[in-house]
Structure 1
Amino acid sequence: MSDRLTRLLGGEELAWLVDRARTRLERGKPLTGSVSLAGATHGQRRAVETLLGRRAGSGASLSVSLEEVDRVLRASGACDGLAQAVAVLRGPIRDLTALAADRDTAWRTAFAALDTHLADRKALDGRVADRQDLGGRVADRQALAGWRGWLDSSGLVRRLAPEPADAGSLLDRLVAVLARLPSTGVPIGRLAAETCGDAHALDDGRPVATLALSAARALAGLPYAAEGGADARRAAWAAVGVHLDELSSLVLSLGLPGDPTPGEPHVRTLRQLRRAEPINAGLVRLCENPVVVAAAADDLGAACPPLVCVNGRPSAAVWRLLDLLAAGGSSFAYHGDFDWGGVAIAAAVHERVGFTPWRYDAASYQRAASAAPLAGRAVPTPWDPPLSEAMRRRAVRVEEELVLSDLLSDLAPL
């Protein structure tokens, strides 16, 4: 049967016909109707004519009835029909529908631990009214729901681990990392070792690091896709309490207890702060930009009250200093740029340690002169809800430099 079948249907000129029939069978479709081949060669036409025992027509495309081929094969005794012929010539027929279903199941299994973890975190959010009880996280953990959808739409996991089994192992390690975020301050190597069993698992470019960094950005309210550069990576990790090293993470202050030179700005490293005791500095003013600290040092010197600069997205050192101040009984007053990025930074600080606004409310915003356009997505301002709406309506941004004289007058002793 095999030799006769090979002579009838096994030639190169009829390979397209066998392949079309195989595709139909693998998709669970019957071998009925016709299949067509555009631009058929003379040899392909002659092969069909030889198989069917008649002319194959002269149109632009070559059309063949599958039922007719089936009848010819049965009548020749070469095999028990076209379906059997395809199996003999091409091997066992796969059930693509079943294989796809099995693969879908395998992928759901791979994501099961992550989805369970996110569901548990969301449920915990619903039961706990005081967000500080959850470790002062940077952003509501429900932000991870959008990130989870982005993982699917971007195909990031499947690019990093094309096979479900490998993806499952990768996502299991990711879940172990997420269970520790946000942190109150942990070295990234230690986090990697304790969650992944590999101190370098969260190094830049490693698969679990790529996923974990995107989740950290989600928790911090940043775009999920990582920006280029070490500074952006360091800032994203710092926003969830993870530091890349203890010496490069810094915080700038002026007038705090223990500053070595009164009246001069002082830079503390995270390493120093990790060994420090809680600090009671009374009311501590917080600003977003270093220019405020520099101007206060120039104009007020040692007379400047306690002032800390968060310097954009707070570093691990900034968070550590704020935690030490809060633990010591200090209170905070905050000012930052009136733009949506500045508001997001302020929201993170407000959620973690709380503050009263320092010329950082709707009334102050309306008084500030500026013509710079405000771009970006609106962010809530829980310390002064009307501020967000005022910024949305007025649509101008006001940087701290534009109100520097007002801030310095507040800092000046009476």
Structure 2
Amino acid sequence: MSERLARLLGGPETAWLVDRVRHRLERGRPLGGSVTLGTATPEQRRAIERLLGRRAGTGASLSVSLDEVDRMLRSSGACPEGLATAVVLLQGPVRDLGRENTERETAWREAYTELDAVVTGRTELSGWREWLESTGLVRRIAGDPREARLLLGTVAALLLRLPHPGIPIGRLSAESCGDAHALDEGKPLAALALSAARALSGLPYAGDGTADARRSAWAAVGVHLDDLSSSVLCLGLPGDDDTATGRVLAALRTAGEPCVLTLRQLRRHDTPVAAGLVRICENPVVVAAAADEFGPHCPPLVCTSGRPSAAVWRLLDLLSAGGCEFAYHGDFDWGGVAIASAVRERINWRPWRYDAASYETAVSTTRAVTSATGAAASFAGTVTSAAALSGRPRETPWDPPLAAAMARHAVRVEEELVLGDLLADLAAELGSTGSR
């Protein structure tokens, strides 16, 4: 690079001009026309005047003809090869962004090579393969084509073994991925592999994101998750002396303490559980309060703890097989209605203060409480109001007026707010049957 070129274009006052030219070169655009600097300093203006050998106009902005700069560099000998070469001499080689983008897109397409070899001919996976690319899921997870190729290659290896007649997910992960935890929830590979399992099962590729949905999707292709992480909370269920799970239930019923059973325990218990009327609630606080209030005399109670887990389903199946009847209560919100509907699809239950009349009463009580506390709250500069109902409305086939009442009032009522009524029902049941 000549000393004159460095003096004319190599300083900080002309750096903006060189950057603009480089930007055009990187994108394959011609070096014709003018470039403009919106607000030029006196030093920047003087630098352009030295470069062109003339006044550079007046005003705040500064426009420079690239054709003029190219001619000046060639004719003056500062850079006989012209402006494009001058930029390379000043700042180094210019990237070809068009070529780089083409190469990157080629690399992304090639990242699917191993997966496509496995998917070809498997019609149940063709739509999923298109979905992967159209949603950009792989690019979001992987970040670059090299990592994507590794991930998709591992998914391809998994698909060669699925569906499986029966294998724990940790073993499948260790044997196919070289890491027993590669398919754990939250890992980059897990989302891709789970969507593939859903595709094989004919389920929506994205799923609903719940733990139970994940277990169901894997189970549909013969893969079993850790059955210790799934559990169910219950109270007052009768046990027996013949099985390990039966003895646990019996001991905790006698002690009047809530019982947490794992899916592993329940899968190893094949004996139906006969308990008469079993009440189902959604929130653990109901079980805790019932244990405090009634201890060993509490009527049978099962808690879904929100969306039912596989352990909840297993226990309900055992109770249903034992000829039990069920009464259900949950939160008065659309999520609670969805949970109630899911349970009702599995077992038949009657409402336990989970109908329109009970909701109307609960709303009136809630509004009365918030109205009474509103004045006191205003002194502290806060606002107290009933919780607003949000989410997508759902039908309540066990009591159609309930959905209409919820939509009309748009007030959310959690189980904790009607806990006294639920405990009163349990007490009444004890009074009618006698303590056990």
In the superposition, the TM-score normalised over structure 2's length comes to 0.62
The structural deviation recorded for 1:286 is 2.2
The alpha-carbon distance between structure 1 residues 49 and 284, as it changes in their structure 2 partners (threshold 3 A), is: same
Inter-partner Cα distance in structure 2 for 1:313 and 1:338: 14
Inter-partner Cα distance in structure 2 for 1:175 and 1:390: 50
Counterpart position of 1:81: 82
| Contact persistence 2:290–2:298 (CA under 8 A) | no
The alpha-carbon distance between structure 1 residues 243 and 338, as it changes in their structure 2 partners (threshold 3 A), is: farther
Counterpart position of 1:134: none
Over aligned residues, Cα RMSD in angstroms?
A: 5.0
Counterpart position of 1:392: 407
User: Does 1:260 find its partner at 2:233?
Assistant: no
Inter-partner Cα distance in structure 1 for 2:27 and 2:10: 24
| Contact persistence 1:239–1:314 (CA under 8 A) | no
Equivalent AA in structure 2 for residue 269 of structure 1:
T
Q: Unpaired segments of 5 or more residues in structure 1?
A: 125-144, 223-235
Equivalent AA in structure 2 for residue 193 of structure 1:
A
| Contact persistence 2:330–2:340 (CA under 8 A) | yes
Inter-partner Cα distance in structure 1 for 2:98 and 2:335: 48
> Structure 2 matches for 1:4-403, cutoff 5 A?
6=5, 11-13=10-12, 14-37=14-37, 38-40=39-41, 42=43, 44-76=44-76, 78-100=79-101, 102-103=103-104, 106=107, 158=140, 161-170=142-151, 189=170, 192-193=173-174, 196-201=177-182, 206-208=187-189, 221=208, 237=211, 240-241=214-215, 246=228, 249-257=231-239, 258=246, 259-261=249-251, 264=256, 265-277=258-270, 279-281=272-274, 284-290=278-284, 292-293=286-287, 304=299, 306-325=300-319, 332-351=326-345, 353-359=346-352, 362-370=355-363, 371=366, 372-381=386-395, 383-384=397-398, 386=400, 387-398=402-413, 399=415, 400-403=418-421
The structural deviation recorded for 1:32 is 2.3
In the superposition, the TM-score normalised over structure 1's length comes to 0.65
Equivalent AA in structure 2 for residue 12 of structure 1:
G
Identity %: 51
Q: Unpaired segments of 5 or more residues in structure 2?
A: 199-204, 216-223, 240-245, 367-385
The secondary structure found in structure 2 opposite 1:200 is coil
Give the structure with higher Rg (CA). Answer: 2
| Contact persistence 1:187–1:246 (CA under 8 A) | no
Inter-partner Cα distance in structure 2 for 1:176 and 1:320: 32
The alpha-carbon distance between structure 1 residues 177 and 221, as it changes in their structure 2 partners (threshold 3 A), is: farther
| Contact persistence 1:279–1:327 (CA under 8 A) | yes
Inter-partner Cα distance in structure 2 for 1:253 and 1:401: 16
Inter-partner Cα distance in structure 1 for 2:350 and 2:33: 75
Equivalent AA in structure 2 for residue 341 of structure 1:
G
Higher relative contact order (CA 8 A, sep 6+): 1
Inter-partner Cα distance in structure 1 for 2:283 and 2:211: 20
Deviation track 1:108-157 (CA, whole Å, cap 9, x = no partner) reads 7768969x99x958979xxxxxxxxxxxxxxxxxxxx9xx96x87xxx96
Equivalent AA in structure 1 for residue 145 of structure 2:
P
Aligned residues: 365
The structural deviation recorded for 1:368 is 3.5
| Contact persistence 1:333–1:356 (CA under 8 A) | yes
Inter-partner Cα distance in structure 2 for 1:243 and 1:7: 67
| Contact persistence 2:32–2:66 (CA under 8 A) | yes
| Contact persistence 1:251–1:317 (CA under 8 A) | no
